[in-house]
């Protein structure tokens, strides 16, 4: 392990004894949700992971270290400090070397989780190919990381802020297994379905654990993406949310928002335009992913122990 990794003792022990650990990203805290809901989200997500038999490990860059497992003070800083940098693969070495405070995206959380020996990671939504990418070339580094790094990411699909068909094509080209959890269509984050069929699906966490174990045994590089739809009682009206998303994209273009500011800008605008309704849905789908992710980690480690 490299000298930048700082793993909280409880998590270190769990990893040594092959107990299930589930990583969480921190960009969702700093740039994905407003304060104080972001703190509420991390605490509840951690509690759900524990209740389902795994140990939560939130990852961030603090004072020159990759911290795996954060203190309450770290979480408060991430949730409130305006100087927190959104850190993807590109920014990782820079922010560490300068000892700045950095929040990890899906891509950099995967990198750091792998450095620490963690195999599962729960989040809300991943980045992807942005709409209008023909002009902007805006494709999230999350996709390339899924192609390279051996972590299973549990999410609620991708948002319609992205070009969903092209996001799926990219993942197919890169050979990333995208597995629907109890669904055979791509969930669209705020809604349970989209018009895009999934080629792979699994009925329960044991099936998923067996697929992940087989992939590992074959030595195939790259991650696995589990698509877990938002619970029906929390899903949003499709026409309404799509209209809000369309407007947010127009407004981002008009204001010249580009690069890594695009996703945070869109998320914030959508929360404002739905008067918090989208934030509530976002939190609920993270909780649901935490439950499935923890159960999957438990199933995977018990399968490994039985081999
Ligand atoms: N989608 C969400 N919430 C988020 C993000 C995406 O619904 O918080 C964050 C994640 O950290 C993701 C990142 O990895 O945005 C993608 O940003 P970009 O498109 O700049 O790669
Ligand atoms: Mn981008």
pLDDT in tens, 272-285: 999 999 999 999 99
Ligand 1: does its nearest atom lie under 6 Å from the Cβ of 105? yes
Tell me which residue of 101, 6, 122, 125 sits closest to 55, measured CA to CA. 122
Smallest-distance ligand from the CA of 107 = 1
pLDDT in tens, 50-69: 999 999 999 999 999 999 99
% of the chain surpassing 90 pLDDT = 99
pLDDT in tens, 13-34: 999 999 999 999 999 999 999 9
Q: pTM of the predicted model, to two decimals?
A: 0.98
**How would residue 160 be classed by pLDDT, with cut points 50, 70 and 90?**
confident
Which ligand 1 atom is at minimum distance from the Cα of 138? 19
Tell me which residue of 194, 172, 175 sits closest to 183, measured CA to CA. 194
Which ligand 1 atom is at minimum distance from the Cα of 86? 11
Ligand 1: does its nearest atom lie under 6 Å from the Cβ of 106? yes
Please confirm, yes or no, whether 159 is among the known catalytic residues. Answer: yes
Ligand 1: does its nearest atom lie under 6 Å from the Cβ of 114? no
Is the pLDDT reported for residue 75 higher than 90? yes
pLDDT in tens, 175-206: 999 999 999 999 999 999 999 999 999 999 99
Query: What is the whole-number distance in angstroms between the Cα of residue 173 and the centre of ligand 2?
Result: 19
Please confirm, yes or no, whether 25 is among the known catalytic residues. Answer: yes
pLDDT in tens, 227-271: 999 999 999 999 999 999 999 999 999 999 999 999 999 999 999
Annotated catalytic residue, options 12, 119, 159, 260: 159
106 burial (CB, 10 Å; 0-12 / 13-18 / 19+) is buried
Q: Which residues surround ligand 2, an ion (CB under 5 A)?
A: 138
Please say whether the dihedral angle defined by the alpha carbons of residues 152, 157, 162 and 165, taken in this order, is positive or negative.
positive
CA distance 91 to 93: 6
pLDDT in tens, 201-214: 999 999 999 999 99
pLDDT in tens, 224-239: 999 999 999 999 999 9
Rounded mean pLDDT, 76-98: 98
pLDDT in tens, 285-295: 999 999 999 99
Residue corresponding to tokens 């989209």? 194
Residue ranges and CATH numbers for the domains of the chain are 5-141+231-306 (3.40.1790.10)
Rounded mean pLDDT, 89-117: 98
Ligand 1: does its nearest atom lie under 6 Å from the Cβ of 146? no
Q: Which of 105, 107, 156, 271 to mutate to test the pocket of ligand 1 (most atoms within 8 A of CB)?
A: 105
CA distance 206 to 216: 15
Rounded mean pLDDT, 78-85: 98
Ligand 1: does its nearest atom lie under 6 Å from the Cβ of 277? no
Is the pLDDT reported for residue 74 higher than 90? yes
């Amino acid at each position: 392990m490299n000298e930048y990794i700082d793993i909280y003792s409880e998590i270190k022990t769990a990893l040594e004894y092959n107990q299930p650990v589930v990583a969480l990203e921190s960009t969702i805290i700093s740039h994905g949700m407003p304060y104080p809901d972001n703190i509420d989200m991390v605490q509840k997500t951690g509690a759900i992971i524990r209740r389902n038999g795994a140990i939560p490990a939130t990852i961030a860059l603090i004072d020159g270290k990759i911290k795996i497992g954060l203190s309450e003070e770290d979480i408060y800083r991430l949730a409130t400090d305006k100087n927190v940098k959104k850190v993807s693969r590109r920014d990782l070495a820079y922010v560490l070397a300068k000892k700045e405070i950095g929040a990890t995206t899906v891509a950099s959380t995967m990198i750091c989780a792998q450095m620490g020996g963690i195999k599962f990671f729960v989040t809300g939504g991943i980045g992807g190919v942005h709409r209008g990418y023909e002009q902007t070339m805006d494709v999230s580094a999350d996709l390339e990381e899924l192609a390279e790094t051996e972590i299973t990411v549990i999410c609620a699909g991708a948002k319609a802020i992205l070009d969903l068909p092209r996001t799926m094509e990219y993942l197919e080209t890169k050979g990333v297994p995208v597995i629907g959890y109890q669904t055979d269509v791509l969930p669209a984050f705020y809604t349970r379905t989209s018009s895009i069929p999934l080629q792979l699906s699994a009925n329960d966490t044991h099936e998923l654990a067996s697929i992940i174990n087989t992939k590992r045994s074959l030595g195939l590089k790259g991650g696995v993406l589990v698509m877990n739809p938002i619970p029906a009682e929390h899903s949003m009206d499709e026409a309404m949310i799509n209209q809000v998303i369309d407007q947010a994209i127009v407004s981002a273009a008009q204001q010249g928002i580009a690069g890594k500011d695009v996703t945070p800008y869109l998320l914030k605008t959508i929360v404002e335009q739905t008067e918090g309704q989208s934030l509530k849905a976002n939190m609920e789908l993270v909780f649901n992913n935490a439950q499935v992710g923890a159960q999957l980690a438990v199933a995977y480690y018990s399968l490994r122990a039985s081999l």
